[in-house]
Structures are given as C-alpha cells and as structure tokens.
Chains A and B, each alone.
Chain A
C-alpha cells in the first residue's frame, strides 16, 4: 500500500503542484494529470451547489479552509488499477493517487491535515499562497510524505525545518 502521487489542481484543471512517488515520465505526466482531473472534476457539478462560489469576499483571495467541504458524493474514484482520493478546498482540488490496498479514508484525512499545516504556516492559506510559495509547499509536503509513505503528521514537527530556515534567512 502506498501513495503514488499528490496533485493540486484548480477548477480549470491547471496543475498547481504535482509530486510523484513512483517514476512517471515527464511526457506522460500531463496526460495523466488531465485524465485524473477529468475523473474528479466531472463529479464537481453535483458536488458544489450553485452559489457556493460566492462565499469568498470579493477583495480577498479565497481562504481554503473557510469552507466546509460538502460531500454528497464519494471522495474516492477508481482510476485504472488504483484509486484516487480527492478533496476540494474552495477552487482547489487535492488529488492523491493510492494503491488499492491503501486505507482511502486515512488518506482523505491526511489531505486535510496537510491543508491544516499549510493554513498554520501561511496563516489562512489561499490558492495564491500555494502558487507563490511552491517551493515551501513542496518542502512541507516532503516532510509529510516520503517514498509514498506518511512519515510525519505532527504539525509542529512538520513545520520545524521550514521555520528554522525562515529564521536563518531573516536573521
């Protein structure tokens, strides 16, 4: 059982972040991502009722954790010979590809833990934070998942190396 990849995609299907834990050739990634996004986003219509998008204020970027994700649909999708676990935060989708033997619900919550960590670091994380700090998001993710396994979930500990780096840069 393991995690094959973590993707962050927006509603337009643009990849914001991708991390593969099994070698996938660069040329095949775009197609795979498009396919995965199609699988998950095709369910979007039922998932987000009309008017849901207006929750964010006009002036500020949408905070990811401000919305309670609605979930009338299953968050797990079968894709080829593995499963996709996806979770929506505002306009951002986080999709995790896992093997069939993996405990999908625990991954589903791992995603939430990840977003909570991001929220803690960026204090009120938004999609823009992720875009402008791609390197840091990657560093955080690397603290949590390695080789397709969950290696740390304790928020303080996940952030410890990065905050140390920030301090070094400041001082």
Chain B
C-alpha cells in the first residue's frame, strides 16, 4: 500500500472527529459506513474483497428489512459501494424505491440516486417509481420537484411518459430557472426514448431556446443538436438565432459565474459550434451567416488555456465542415499548425485529430506539416503514433504507400491490443489491395488468425490474376515464393494458420517459377508443416493440395508416398480425399500432366460443368444395360406411386428409391452415382470450409467417391480457352505515368532534418497540389485499384470455385429470386423454349464436341443492369436463359452447375450451364421449382431420430401459423410441403417433423411445434447455411400464402 493511503488512514480518526465539514461531520469512525470504507481501503486481495463484501451484504440484508428508516440512507450508500465493486445487491432495489417514496430531503434524494444507479431503463421495478415521481412533481417543495425532474431526465419507463408529460410541460413555465431547466432536460430524455411523444411540443422547445435564463437555453440546445442531426433542413431558420447566441456568449454577455477560468461558458460554445457545423454543411447561405462569429471565436480564443484550445478545435472542425471561406480556412489551418507543433502532448493529439479530419477536405495541409507528422510517428506516446497512422492512412497514395504501410506494420509488431490490431490489419490490407506490393506476408504473420478471413482470399486472388504486366506478375510471384521458402526454413511453427494456407497455395502454384529450386526441397518443407502438432486439418488439406501440384515424379516420390499413405487413412474425409488425389497423381505422370496444366495462369481454364465429356461414357454404359438417369421430380413421382402401393408406411428410404428407378431414359445409373460422388465431394468442402475459407486449390476435382473420372479431365484439357479482354484503358495508364514522373514539391522545413526523415518525407510526394485532386477527390471510380485482367469465363481461381450449395443458395436468394430477374428469366425461357429441341438434337448428335448451345441468346442483356456494367468477360453462349433455370434445377443432383464468382464486384453469373440434353421435362419442371431447389427426403421417423442427433448446424425460429385451431399445424405443414417440396415425416399431436435435402447427402430436418399461437421451428442439418436458408424460404412461403 502506498504511503499516502497509510498517512490518510492514520489521519482518519482525527479527521472524522475534528472536521467540521457537512457530511463527514455526522459520521463516526465506528459507523458501519466508516468500517466499510476502512475495510475497502485496507483490501489487499480479490479474495479478501469478496469476503468483506459478502459479509457487508449479509449485514445490509439483515438491517434493511427493519423499519428503522433513519439507517436507510446509510444502508443505501453501503449498497451502492457494494454494487460499484461489482457485487449485486438486488435485494436493496425495492428499498431504494421505498426510500425515494418515504424519505425526506436528502434521504429521498439518495433513494432516487440509488434507483438511478441500480436499475436500468427497462427494469420492471421502475414502474413502482412512477407514482412517487408523480407525487413529487406536484409537491409544493421545489427541492422535491427538482429531484423528481432529475430522476425523470435520467431514466423513466417509456410507456409511462404520458402520465407525467402534462406535469413536466407545465414546469416549462415555472418562475424558477432551475425547474424550467430540469423540465427541458426531462423533455430531452423523452425525446431520446420516445420522440413521437413530444412531437407536439416542438414550439415549446423554441420557447426554451429563447428563455431569458442562459441555463434553460443551454439545456434546450441538447434537444436541438439531436433534432438537427436527424434533420438539418428543418431548422435552417434557427441558424441566425444560434449565431446570435454564440456571439453573445463569445462577447462575454453571460453572467460571470458561467465563466470557466475566465472563458465564457466554454462547453456552451462548443455545443453551439457543433450545431452550426451541422447547419452550415453543404449550405452556402447558412454558412455565410456564420463566418463573422466563427472569425470572432478564433480571435477570442487566443488565451493560453486548454479550454480555449478545446473551443478552437471545435471551431476549426466547424470551419472545415461548412461551406468554405478562404480566409477562415487559412486561419483555421494556422491554428491546426500551432496545435500540431505544440510541445503539449494533449494539444498535439488534438491537432493530429483535427488534421485527420481536415485532410479529407484539403490534403495540402498535411504537406505543410509533413516533418512534424513524421516526428510524431516516432513519438514515445502510443496514442500520438496511432493518431498519426490514422492520418497517414487518409493521405496514402501510390507514391507513399510503401513507407506508410511499413510504418503501420512497425506499429503492429509492437502493438498488443487486439482491437487496434484488427483495425490496423484491415487498413493495411485495404492499402495493399489498392496499391499492390509485397507487404502482405508481413501482414499475415503479424495479423495472424485475428484478421478478417477475406483478407488472405483477396490477396491470393490478386496474386493469381496478376496486374498489368506479365513480368511484374512473375517478379511478385517469385518474390512470394522466395520469401515464403525462407519463412518455412526458419520457424514455421510460429506462423498463423491462415498464413500457412496462403504459403502452401503460393508454393504449390508458383514454386516452379524458380528454376533452381528443387521440388523435393519444397515438398520436404511442406511435409514438415504437416507433421507439426498444431497445424489444423484445414491447413493440412491446403498443404496436400499444394503437394499434389508440386509432385512431378522422380526423387520426390518417396516423400509424397509417405505422406499420402499417412493421410489416406485419415479420419478426416477431406484429408483422405486429398491424400488419394496425391497418391494417384504422383504415380501417373501422364495423367498428372493432363489434369494439372501449368499454364502460368495465362490461359484461363474452363470447366465444362455440363459434363458433356461424359456422354461417350454414358452411352457406353447404357449400351451395357445400365439404368438411365432420371430427373429428381420424376423419381419422386414414381416414388409416390410406389408408396401408394406399398404396405410399409415409412419403409422406403432414399437409396432404395434411387435404385428402384425404372428404365425410361437413355441415361445410366453410373452417371447418377458419379454425380452423387461429385456432389458429395462438394458437400464435404462446404462442411470443411464453412464460409471462412476459399477453395483456391486450382486442382480440378477429378475424384468422385467412386474413383477417378478420366474423361472429365480429358475434356477439360480440350476445353475452349477464353481470350481475356483488357479493361485497362490507355488514358489511365497515362495518368499513372505522369504522377510517377511528377517532381515532388516538398516545402522547406525550418530545421535541418536528418536524412532518414527526409526520406520519409517522401510520404507526401503524392500530395503536391496536382495529384492531390485525385488523391482525395476520387475522380476515377477506382483510381489506384489494381486493374483486374478481365477474366475469361472461368479463370484459374474461379474455376475451382465450384459453387457449394450455399453459394447456390446465395445466388438464388440474392441474384435470382429477390430481384425481378427471376421473372424475367421465366418469361424469356418460356419464349425460347421452342428453340430448344433443335439444340438438343445437335447436342445428342455431336456428343464428343462441346455441347451445342442455343445460339443467339445474349446473356448480358439478361444480367441485371448493375451487373452488366461491371467488368465481365464475354459470356460464352454456354449459358442460356433456360439453362439458368435448368441449372437451378440441376443443382439438385449436382453441386457444381452454377458457378458464381463471389468476389467484390463480380457478381456475375459467369458460368451457367446445364444439361439441355436431358429432357424438356427438366425445363418445364424448372418453372415450378425455381423457388427453392430442395426436394423431399423420405425417411422414417426412426431414421429421422438418428439423423437429428448427428447433425450439428441448427437454427430456431418462430413462424406464423396458417389457419387456427386443431388444423393449423397440418395446414401450415401442407403449405410448406407444396411450396418447398418438404417431406412430412409424421405429425403427432401439436408437433410435426419434416425433412428435405438440397443435394444427395445434404439433408435438412425440421421439427415444428405449435406453441402460443406460433409455429416453433427447429431446423438441423450437417450443412452450415442450409437451416438458415430454409427457414428464410419457409417464411417467404408462408407469407406468400
């Protein structure tokens, strides 16, 4: 314990007996409160504190119920102490209300105080206070009225406002200023919690604003600031009034006791300046009224005191917010300069904060103070550094980005606060994306697993898509490979998982660029990563994919064999899958060459998701007597018929229904099984990655559950190659060049700066007047954003983005269903349905070639307007309008038909295709089923039970019932059954169970219970997003009904 406290403690008894002060005079050192305070002061450990407070609470509890109210005030204060140390004393709450009700004078006030400290605004006990407040408001004792108004302006139950509103309004005309002032503050509280209730008394606010007492006027400003924030246009007529008030305040017209350190009512001035800023923003005429008083404010605030600086800061902000006036701006800029240069740290901080605000209007100001800013970067105080970085972030441009990012990273390395790290990492990543450079690896290692998951994703995308020049790309990739190899050779154990994933992808993809690098070396490094204890299985699968890409046969086979053997028996299905891929591909180099094209990303790969290359295989299988493929609805119908005849009520399980398909088409069941394998595969991925990971493997899925699919890979190789069209315009290029060649115009600095700092001053090169325009004003939509190469229909990154069901879902929800495009599509597909047979014929006749497509369908015109403007490739007429619908439909049996590039600005449906050949039924089906691509899952109640327990993702919600009474449940479930193709498993009393599935093995179970007039729904599924999605559709379906 510090000696100060000891000293005060020794002085305690004498103080208590001698001190004639009010308050302490009545306390004896032996009083309970005195004991408590002494006890608290002497505390040395948390444990002791707990003991003391528990004891205290017990003692309070003991006494509080005794009718002796003279002790009550002290008991309350003791309870307040206990609560302020974090120990709940809820048993005293009711007594606090009682004290407010029955106590006199100070006791009453303490009762009110305790209530306002103990209860929050929604506490039910607060209702008990209403009567007391009502009584006190009507009291003839001004002090009691005052207390009541104070507590009302702190907290009051919203619903009870009408009960006291007339009384409070009445007080606005009270002769005493303090009552009027408190009444205004009470009305402010009402405005905050229930603005509608006080709408009718806006004119009374005006009266308060014009009150002869400055205190009442000040109180009314709170209401006005709030109202003007919400609607500046509505109060423009008051601008002159506020200006007059400010003028009077600044001119010292207020009574002396409003002064603080001889500055007239400083907080009032600040409040007024804030209001003026709101009114003058984007309003030249309102601003013109203010110029004079702002000028005077600047002039008057020359005194050397913190509070004048506080006013100046507000004044400067106001000047830069309203319509600009040059001489005022000049003065304000000078003012900021003084702040920034001040040796007082608080002032320096405020200067930087002002500068951060101001550079958004005028970046040149930063230029003036560049040397100071750079000095601030090395300031010993963290918050100064932090504020400087914030400022630098706002003035970053292509020339200074490297220095600024370096500074930010420097800060990140020493920073320990999570909030700051997340904020800064986000900013660095934003800059790195805007102005691509090689800083990302530092960001990854420093930011660790804390950063937002989209940061590594966009980085990889950046790396794979490349920039303007091939050579640059090569350099960047080589650099990445080099630095990552070095990192791995050091201590990979310390790197965060996300970074390891990025590293393995980059090494897998680009390590061949470095000629002298033996693949074995890389493989060994990667294998080492696999062996590390804390490597997550997600990371491991990234590593295995990288190994698959790297393994070219030869020396490295032994490493690979060991790895693949280890993981091919892994418990994790994804890892096992990857290990199998690795094993097969490492043994068959011919196949490997076909599957893993090393094209440096110059030739975008194309995925033929219609699987037309399988046609040969399919017809062979058919010829061999296999059962043809049937679309799901057909199977369903047959299933329904079969069920009608069946004697077993719940006996038919899904696999049986699949295999019992009769032969009606030319398709084979082999395709079915294979595609289910495929969909299973993608389902696993969606399990694995959830929404946080990106599947940038670049390895095409060549393995279904049934094994290797050679044809698919072969056709992929032969697939058409898109020529990317460059979006880069020559003029943009020119701009960039000219800004590079521009000679920097740094202002001379007073002292001779050391060379390092001068070099740092390059920070501001980009800020010279000419380029400043495009720095801040954003003349181009995305001036320095890297120019994406337009992608082909698919590119290496998106090719692997075979949409998982949740993507399909999102696409459906966002792009198709919720916009009118869906209806548009439906109409157009109906029109063009006639073209289809022709297309189908050609397709079947030329099975080996690319699938024939209906020719003249211009997809672009069918994209929503906001999408068609975005950068998109020439859309190969792979996709037709019908096929979008088909695709929606066909995603039921295959997870990879719809491909979406879910990146920032590219929401286009790039690659949509479907098997037009299948049948026209498929098309007609599409119309009815476009809402939600799920289908019934026929399970028995027992099966349902076991499945329910094994699913991990769930969601609960209440839905509205359709109809009422006994039939409500059945009626509602029937609607769901009809609209969403859900299967009603069983209805027992007021509960029902339903099931459906999105893909072959992506079931979703639903449990409904009628509860209190609503339908309590509980959904479970192994697929993360499926329950949420289904609940959404259920809601829609019921609403539409």
Which A residues have a C-beta under 8 Å from some C-beta of B? 1, 10-12, 14-15, 17-19, 23, 26-27, 29-30, 33, 53, 56, 58-62, 71-78, 80-81, 90-91, 103-106, 108-110, 113, 122-123, 126-129, 131-136, 138-139, 142-143, 146-147, 149-157, 160-161, 164-166, 168-169
Contact = CB atoms under 8 A, between A and B. Distances in A.
B142 to A, nearest CB: 8
A77 B11 CA distance: 35
Nearest to A149: B222
B1 interface: yes
Interface string B483-497: 000000000000000
Interface residues of B, number: 92
A123 B22 CA distance: 10
Contacts of A80: 419
Top 8 nearest A-B pairs (CB, nearest first) are: A30-B86, A106-B310, A105-B310, A133-B23, A74-B345, A168-B105, A61-B8, A109-B307
A61 B18 CA distance: 13
Interface stretch (B257-265, B392-400, B761-769, B822-830): B257-265
Contacts of B116: 142
Interface stretch (B282-290, B362-370, B381-389, B771-779): B381-389
Contacts of A29: 86
B192 A147 contact: yes
A154 to B, nearest CB: 5
Contact of B219 (A17, A151, A168): A151
Interface string B12-49: 10110000011110010000011001001101000000
Q: Which of B27, B86, B350 lies at the interface centre, i.e. has the most chain A CB atoms within 10 A of its CB? A: B86
B713 interface: no
Nearest to A72: B345
Contacts of B189: 146-147
Contact of A134 (B80, B106, B260, B419): B80
A74 B860 CA distance: 58
A135 B346 contact: no
A139 B4 contact: no
A23 B274 CA distance: 26
B266 A165 contact: no
Contacts of A11: 2, 4-5
Contacts of B417: 78
Contact of A138 (B113, B121, B185): B113
B270 A81 contact: no
A139 B350 contact: no
B178 interface: yes
A26 B1 contact: no
24 contacts: A27-B86, A56-B7, A59-B14, A61-B8, A71-B344, A73-B381, A91-B4, A103-B310, A103-B313, A105-B309, A128-B15, A128-B24, A129-B24, A133-B24, A138-B117, A139-B113, A143-B150, A151-B185, A153-B265, A155-B257, A156-B257, A157-B257, A165-B106, A169-B105
A143 B215 CA distance: 12
B314 interface: yes
A39 to B, nearest CB: 9
Interface centre among A17, A26, A30 (most CB of B within 10 A): A26
Interface in B276-332: 306-307, 309-311, 313-314
A157 B257 CA distance: 9
Residue from B23, B120, B219, B349 with most neighbouring chain A CB atoms (10 Å): B23
Contact of A127 (B8, B85, B105, B218): B8
B24 A132 contact: yes
Contacts of A146: 150, 153-154, 185, 189
Given A59-B11, A78-B420, A73 B260 contact: no
A53 B5 CA distance: 11
A23 B155 CA distance: 12
A28 to B, nearest CB: 9
Given A10-B5, A30-B86, A134 B381 contact: no
Contact of A74 (B265, B307, B310, B384): B384
Contacts of A78: 382-383, 386, 417, 420
B7 A58 contact: yes
B468 interface: no
Interface in B867-894: none
A151 to B, nearest CB: 6
Interface in B229-279: 257-258, 260, 265-268, 270-271, 274
B346 A136 contact: no
Nearest to B147: A161
A141 to B, nearest CB: 10
Given A62-B7, A71-B345, A90-B4, 20 more contacts: A1-B274, A29-B86, A53-B4, A58-B7, A74-B349, A74-B383, A106-B310, A108-B310, A109-B306, A109-B307, A110-B267, A113-B260, A131-B37, A135-B113, A138-B113, A139-B113, A151-B185, A153-B265, A165-B143, A168-B106
B84 interface: yes
Contacts of A33: 86
A26 to B, nearest CB: 6
Contacts of A142: 113, 116, 150, 154
B419 A81 contact: yes
Interface string B106-132: 100110010011001100000000000
Contacts of A90: 4
A115 B86 CA distance: 25
B650 to A, nearest CB: 49
B840 interface: no
Contacts of B307: 105-106, 109
B839 to A, nearest CB: 57
B310 A164 contact: no
A109 B262 CA distance: 13
A18 B270 contact: no
Given A75-B346, A165-B109, A132 B37 contact: yes
Nearest to B34: A132
Contacts of B265: 153-154
A36 B223 CA distance: 31
Nearest to B105: A168
A56 B15 CA distance: 15
A74 B385 CA distance: 11
B143 A136 contact: no
A25 B818 CA distance: 40
Interface string B916-952: 0000000000000000000000000000000000000
B44 to A, nearest CB: 9
B425 interface: no
Contacts of A81: 419
A30 B349 contact: no
